[in-house]
Amino acid sequence: METTISWEDFSKIDMRTGTVTAVYDFTEARNPSFKLDIDFGPEIGVKKTSAQITEKYDKEDIVGLQVIAVVNFPKKQIANFMSECLILGAVENSSVVLLQPQMTVPNGLKIS
């Protein structure tokens, strides 16, 4: 386990549900990756991110998936792309399994 954080620190992390609406190859990335558009509902809208998920996912299988992401990190430049959120996944070596709600829920719901 890494450093312990306070409940106050945890409460600052804004995790939301969103649906992947588009997936693109990210050929400029250093590691095999996709670019994703994720719809977080009317309050937040669509945000873009990149994800190193090519080992377990094909582009066609990701569109329509509901996922969980952190939406209040600052934007981060990755190669020639500006990532606007961080999609969450369980990581084992270079393999990532995306975190998803067990049932379909409205886009934009807060995770707590």
Report the predicted TM-score, pTM, of the whole model to 2 decimal places: 0.93
Query: What is the arithmetic mean of pLDDT over 80-91?
Result: 96
CB-CB contact of 84 with 48 (8 Å): yes
- What pairing do the DSSP bridges indicate for beta strands 95-98 and 89-92? antiparallel
Beta strands in 15-107 (DSSP E): 15-25, 34-39, 46-51, 66-70, 76-78, 81-83, 86-87, 89-92, 95-98
Q: Nearest Cα to 75, choosing from 49, 45, 37? A: 49
The pLDDT of residue 94: 83
Question: How confident is the model over 98-109, as pLDDT tens digits?
Answer: 999 999 999 999
The pLDDT of residue 2: 79
Q: How far is residue 51 CA from its own chain's centroid?
A: 7
Query: What is the arithmetic mean of pLDDT over 4-20?
Result: 95
Four-residue CA torsion sign, 111, 74, 67, 47 = positive
> Taking all residues of the chain, what is their mean pLDDT, rounded to a whole number?
95
Q: Nearest Cα to 46, choosing from 20, 70, 23, 81? A: 20
